[in-house]
């Protein structure tokens, strides 16, 4: 597979490696709640577009850092804005 396969000609950016798999893993985190799965999938699209970064924390929450500087923590039942 060529690294240029994930190149988006509209945004002129390459998709981060493993983005689709990461979105699927995080959506699995929210599989019991369709609304939560929708939010996670939407944030995954922002990550894929390069507007944010995310990671799973040790306690199972998802930390989302937007390029604008805001950081959010997606917990089991709540969303916290950290910065």
Mean pLDDT of 9-31: 57
- Please give the pLDDT value at position 14: 45
Instruction: Find out whether 22 and 56 touch, Cβ atoms under 8 Å.
Output: no
- Please give the pLDDT value at position 20: 60
Predicted TM-score (pTM) of this structure: 0.65
Residue 54, Cβ neighbours under 10 Å: how many?
19
Domain carrying residue 46: 3-81
Model confidence at 36: pLDDT above 70: yes
User: What b/e sequence results for 6-23 when a residue is b if at least 16 CB atoms lie within 10 Å of its CB, and e otherwise?
Assistant: eeeeeeeeebeeebeebb
Q: What angle do CA 42, 45, 47 make, to 5 degrees?
A: 115
Count of domains observed in the chain? 1
Specify which residues 10 forms β-bridges with: none
* pLDDT range class, residue 24, cuts 50, 70, 90: low
């Amino acid at each position: 597979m060529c690294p240029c396969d994930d190149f988006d000609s509209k945004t002129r950016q390459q998709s981060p490696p493993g983005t689709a798999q990461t979105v699927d893993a995080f959506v699995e985190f929210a599989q019991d709640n369709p609304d939560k799965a929708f939010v996670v999938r939407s944030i995954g699209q922002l990550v894929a577009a390069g507007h944010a970064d995310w990671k799973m924390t040790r306690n199972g929450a998802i930390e989302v850092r937007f390029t604008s500087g805001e950081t959010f923590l997606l917990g089991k039942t709540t969303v916290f804005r950290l910065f």
